[in-house]
Amino acid sequence: MAALFIIIFISSILAIAVFIWFRLARSPFGMPLFSAALLAGASSIFPALFFQYLFPAGSGIFHLSGKWGLFAEIFIRIALTEELSRFLILLILFAIIRRISGDSAGIMANTAGLVAGLGFAILESSVIGASNFDITPLRAFTAAPLHGACGSRVGSSVVLLRQHPVLGIIRFLSAVALHGAYNFMLNIPGRLPSIAAGFIAVSALVSAIQVIRIEMKAEDTI
């Protein structure tokens, strides 16, 4: 039980840090929006599990052996279903926000997506930790950055699809590619692939944060 609490705490550190950053930067993304995005992200795990239930491992294209079977399992059954679930939940969240406040989700798409990704990571790590206390330290520390970075990309893709469909699709697929590459590296034995997985997660998060910082500065000048 203590190990589970440690895993949950580790997964929550980044979400706490991001919220403190928003407060210090006086971002309009306050507690209500932060909480809504966090809960929305956490809830996106359920449609992902449903999609994965419909396409169980070892069936259809996932029955393929060797590297192609592994590719289909990691990039399609896991990465694609989880990012698609995140997309659907963020689409609903943005529609609710627009209906309640009348504001466009465009300026906060990356931010809401980042927070949603962190919410997903907290719940996912809790579920995995409850069923497997042997979760690797690397995954415990890098799952949140990975999901946060992917969530930010998916959030922007939701808005981009309206006016720039091609860019929106590319943005969405970049999240799937990052997610799949991270999981693929974790499935390769050895220290070097694990380091590569951590690098993918952290560098993607840094890129997402940089985009959000630029948006915050642009908003301050309006």
Q: Identify the CA nearest to 4 among candidates 167, 92, 142, 129.
A: 129
Residue 101 pLDDT exceeds 80: no
Residues in the chain: 222
CB under 8 A, 24+ apart: contacts of 167-172: 172/83, 172/87
Residue 191 parent element (H or E): helix 191-221
What pLDDT is attached to residue 222?
54
What pLDDT is attached to residue 56?
80
Residues 173-191 have a mean pLDDT of 93
What pLDDT is attached to residue 140?
77
Residue 179 pLDDT exceeds 90: yes
Query: CB neighbours of 187 closer than 8 A, spacing ≥ 6?
Result: 70, 74
What pLDDT is attached to residue 178?
97
Residue 181 pLDDT exceeds 90: yes
Mean pLDDT of the chain: 87
In eight-state DSSP terms, residue 133 is T
Distance CA 179, CA 78 (A): 9
What tokens does 193 get?
Answer: 């692939």
Query: CB neighbours of 204 closer than 8 A, spacing ≥ 6?
Result: 145, 146, 149, 150, 178
Would you say the C-alpha torsion 21, 23, 27, 28 has a positive or negative sign? Answer: positive
CB 33 within 8 A of CB 58: no
Q: Identify the CA nearest to 212 among candidates 70, 141, 110.
A: 110
pLDDT category, 71, cuts 50, 70, 90? confident
Taking the chain, what is the end-to-end CA distance rounded to the nearest angstrom? 49
What pLDDT is attached to residue 103?
62
In eight-state DSSP terms, residue 72 is I
What pLDDT is attached to residue 59?
65
Per-domain boundaries in the chain: 2-221
What pLDDT is attached to residue 115?
97
Q: When comparing pLDDT for 59 and 165, which is higher?
A: 165
pLDDT digits (tens, 9 = 90+) for 7-23: 788 889 999 999 999 99
Q: When comparing pLDDT for 163 and 36, which is higher?
A: 36
pLDDT digits (tens, 9 = 90+) for 136-145: 677 878 999 9
What pLDDT is attached to residue 67?
64
Residues 42-66 have a mean pLDDT of 80
